[in-house]
Amino acid sequence: MAQETPKDNSGFTLPAPASVPPAADAAGAPASATTATTEAVPVLDPAGTTDTSSRDTLVGGVVLLLLFIAFFFAKNAYANGLVAKRVPPNKANASGWWLFIFLASLATGVVLAAVNAHKFLAPLFMGPLVLVGLVALLLTFTSSRR
């Protein structure tokens, strides 16, 4: 009395793995039977085997460019704030550029670490960035003195 309809079987089932290549299956089976058995099952790529380095580098470069634009506006705001505190404009401008260099080196280190931590967290890359950042931070505050 109870006939099973496709709506009654609402569970999720995985297709059986194909042990024979689809080309060998299709040669001996009728056309109606091959549509159900030779559907292409996507092969999932294990994590880490896909090369995304160019895409990651492009995204990192765009993020870095946007950060540099924001840092430029922050540099101008900092220099204008120093001028308002009666610091000479040439010293305030120099201090603003040192702040920009500090923020740019910090952001460059963070973006490089995010793009490829294994490659760019090496002391060869991070050492000069940290050194430039620390010198720029020191000069930011010493060049803004009256």
Please write the tens of the pLDDT for every residue from 9-43: 667 777 788 776 666 555 555 555 555 555 565 65
Locate 105 and state its tokens: 């080196």
Neighbours of 105 (CB within 10 A): 20
User: Rounded to an integer, what distance in angstroms lies between the CA atom of residue 37 and that of residue 138?
Assistant: 70
Q: Residue 31: helix, strand or coil by DSSP?
A: helix
**Would the pLDDT of 131 be above 60?**
yes
pLDDT value for 17:
82
**Would the pLDDT of 45 be above 90?**
no
Rg (CA), the chain: 30
Stretch 74-85: mean pLDDT: 95
CA–chain centroid gap for 29, Å, is: 48
Q: Which H or E run includes 6?
A: none
